[in-house]
Structure 1
C-alpha cells in the first residue's frame, strides 16, 4: 500500500464522522470545534512533520489528496487547515532549533492559524499591524487582521507584521510573529459573513500589545525559496478544497438519482436511475470532479519535485530559487484557472439531475455551489490566467499571491524565469 492509502485508511473513519454532520453544521452555523478535535487527536496536523520528529513524513501529494478527501466530507474543515499546513511548510527553512520546537508542538496535536490580511487602509506591500520593542525590550504585537482562517480553532496564529522603531516609524522590514490564540491581548471574533465556507473562522483577530518571544519572530524573505513555495502551496490547498466540493456534488447527485421514484411524462417513463439522459448528466458531473482532482494532484506532484530540489540546495536568500519551484507555481496557476470552473460546474449541474426538489432547503445542496464560489474568489482567476500567458509569451517569472492592500501607482518590475531563459535564447 502507498503512504496515501495507509493514511487514508487511518483517517477514513474520522472523515466519515465529519461528513455525517456537515449539512447540519452548515444549516445551524455550528462551528466545527468537535471535528477539529477529532482530527487533532489523530495528529492530522503532523502529516508533513518528518518521521524523525515523530510525524507522518507525508509527501505533498499525499497531503493534498487527503485534503481532497476531507473537503469532500466537509469543505469548511478542509479549508480551515490551510493555514496550519502552510505554516508547517515554512518550518523547513527555519533553523534546527526552531524546527524541533515547532515539530514537537505539531506532533502533540497543536495547530497554527493565520492572521495576515488587513481589510483596508494598508498600501500594497505594507501593513498596519506593527511589531515593536516594548519598554522592557521584548516584542509587542499590535493591530487587527481579517480573513483569519482557522485561527479560532487553533492553538497559535501566525501574524504578518511591519517592524516599527521606537517612534512608531516603519523600518521597512516585515516579519511573522507566532502567538498563542489565548494569550493576553488576543481577541478572536466569529464575524465572517460570507455566504459560503461559513464555518472556516475567516473573521477578525485583534492584537493589543501582545508579548512575543524572540524565538517566535520568524523571518519573512520575499523572493526566497520559502516564499515561492508557500505561495504555491497555499493556493493549491484551496484547489484541493474545490476538488473535494466537486466530488461531494458528484456523490450527492448519484445518491439523489438512485433514490428518486418520480419521473416526468416528457421523459422515458423509466426510473431516473435507469434513464440514459439522467445517467449522462451524472456522468458529466463525475467527469468534472475527476478532472478537478487530476489537475490538483498533478500540481501537487510538481510541488513535490520542487521540494526535492529545495531539500538539496536549501537557501533563504532572495532570488536563489530553483527552476523547479517556478515550474510548480506554473502548474498551480494552470490548475487555478481550470479547477474552479470544474467545481462550480459540478455543483451547479447537480440541480439538473432531479428537478425542483433539489432546491429544497431541507436538502442543503446549495451549499456545494456557495462553498465552491466562495473559495474561487480568494485569488482572482484573471490574474493567474494573465500570469500564465505572460510566462508562455515572454518567459516572465510567475509571482504567487503574497500581499493584498490598497493599490498604488505604477507596477512591479518583471524578471525572466530561469525555467524559460534557455527557451527564449533558442527562439531569439
Structure 2
C-alpha cells in the first residue's frame, strides 16, 4: 500500500523549513568532525542520526512518505551537511543516486523502495572494480543457477556501503551482453564489506572493498540500466552534482575556520603591521578572498542544480518510446553541460579556499591537532573523481563544434592505444 501522509504530517519541502529540521543535527555532526578525521573514527553514529531524522528521504516524493524536495533544495542541504563534515555528505551519494533512479522504474518498484527510504533504509554503491576489467566489461557476474540468480565478484570504491542496509551492484549477465544492477542486503550471506580505503582525504566515507560470494538475488531486485538517453544523462549529472555540493561545503568550512581562527588569534609577525590579525587589512583581505571562493562555488552548484530540476521535469513528462526509453531532452543536455562547467570551476575554488586558509595563520596552523589540513585533503580527494582536463575539453568541443558531451558510462582498462602523430 502506498504511504500517504496526513496533511498535518506533511513537512514543507522548501529550503528554510528543511534547514530548520536539520540545523541542530548538522551542528552536532560538525562538533566531532575534526576528531573523527584525526582518529579515523567512521561516522556510524552520525549516519544513524541522519537516517532516523529522514535525511535519506529528502528526494522521496511526499506521497510515499518523503520530503519531496527539489534538486536545488537537496543541493543546499547537502552543502550544509558537507560544511559540517564532508565525509558524511559524500557517503550519502550512492543512496541519493539510487533514490533518484527510482523515478524511471515501474510503480511497484518505486513504491517498494521509496517506502524503505522513507523508513530510514539506505542503499550504498558497488560499481567499480579495482582493475583487470576491460572498459565496458565487468568481472562481477550475475548468473542463473538452479532456478535462482547468484552474484559473484569483488568491487572497490564502494562508498557508503559499510553504512548502508543495501548496496546496488553493477554486474554482467553471464553469457549475455550488457550490464545490470543487482540490489542486495549488506548483511546477506556471502557479502563481505571491508574498510580498506587508504586515501589521504575523505578517509571516513567507507570507500573500500566489497566482496560477493554466491549471493542470492531476487529477480525483482535486478534492474536494467540505460547506457544512453534521459535516464543515463540525468543519473550521471546528478551523481556529479553531489560531489560538487560536497566541494562547496568544504570551501565554506575553510571560510569559517579561517574567520574563527583569525578572530581569536593574538600573535602577529614581526614583519607585519603590528595589529591584531582580526584588524590587519591584509589578513582581512585574505579571508575575504576565501569567502568569495566559497560563495562562488556554492552559487555555481545551485545554478547547476536548478538546470537539473528543469531537465528532470522535462524528461519524466515526455512519453517513452515503444521500448520504454526516453531520449535526452534539450533541457537534459543543457543541464549536463551546466554540471560539466561546474566540474571545471568548483574543484579549483574549493581547493583554492582550503589552501589559502593557511595564509591567515602562522606555522601553528599546520599543527595536526588543529586538523585544518583536512579541508585541502578532502577537497583534493573529491576533485580527483572527475579529472578537470576531460571536462574542460568536452566543453570546448561543444562551444567550438556543437558536439554534445558524451560519457563512456563505464570504467575499466583501456582497450585501444591511439596512434601519436
After TM superposition, is the score higher than 0.5?
Answer: yes
* Aligned partner of 1:231 among 199, 222, 236: 236
Q: Which residue of 2 aligns with 1:267?
A: 272
* Aligned partner of 2:161 among 151, 159, 173: 151
Normalised by the length of structure 2, the TM-score is: 0.94
Q: Which residue of 2 aligns with 1:91?
A: 102
Q: Which residue of 2 aligns with 1:374?
A: 381
The residue matched to 2:177 in structure 1 has which SS?
Answer: strand
The residue matched to 1:172 in structure 2 has which SS?
Answer: coil
Q: Equivalents in 1 of 2:312, 2:124: separation in Å?
A: 23
The answer to whether the 8 A contact 2:315-2:326 is kept is no
Q: Which residue of 2 aligns with 1:424?
A: none
* Aligned partner of 2:342 among 324, 327, 335: 335
The answer to whether the 8 A contact 2:60-2:118 is kept is yes
Give the Å deviation of 1:402: 2.2
* 2:392 paired with 1:385: yes
Query: CA 1:287/1:274 → structure 2, altered by over 3 Å: closer, same or farther?
Result: same
Give the Å deviation of 1:355: 1.4
Q: Which runs of 5+ in 2 are unaligned?
A: 1-11
Give the Å deviation of 1:317: 5.1
* 2:403 paired with 1:403: no
Give the Å deviation of 1:380: 1.1
Q: Equivalents in 1 of 2:80, 2:397: separation in Å?
A: 34
Give the Å deviation of 1:321: 1.2
Q: Equivalents in 1 of 2:112, 2:189: separation in Å?
A: 22
Deviations 1:223-278 (A, max 9, x none): 02111100000011001000000000000000000000011222111110011110
- Aligned ranges for residues 106-255 of structure 1 at < 5 Å? 106-135=117-146, 137-165=147-175, 171-255=176-260
Give the Å deviation of 1:395: 1.3
Q: Equivalents in 2 of 1:314, 1:359: separation in Å?
A: 57
Q: Equivalents in 2 of 1:90, 1:290: separation in Å?
A: 30
Let me know the Cα RMSD of the aligned residues: 1.3
**Runs of at least 4 residues off by over 2 Å:** 314-319, 399-402
Give the Å deviation of 1:310: 1.2
Q: Equivalents in 2 of 1:164, 1:400: separation in Å?
A: 25
Give the Å deviation of 1:319: 6.7
Q: Which residue of 2 aligns with 1:73?
A: 84
Give the Å deviation of 1:390: 1.0
Q: Which residue of 1 aligns with 2:7?
A: none
Q: Equivalents in 2 of 1:140, 1:391: separation in Å?
A: 43
Deviations 1:259-313 (A, max 9, x none): 0001122211111001111000000000000000011000000100101101211
Q: Equivalents in 2 of 1:65, 1:126: separation in Å?
A: 36
Q: Equivalents in 2 of 1:236, 1:36: separation in Å?
A: 21
Q: Equivalents in 1 of 2:219, 2:338: separation in Å?
A: 37
- Number of matched residues? 405
Give the Å deviation of 1:221: 1.3
Q: Which runs of 5+ in 1 are unaligned?
A: 166-170, 412-428
The answer to whether the 8 A contact 1:289-1:343 is kept is yes
The answer to whether the 8 A contact 2:231-2:326 is kept is no
* Aligned partner of 2:59 among 36, 39, 48: 48
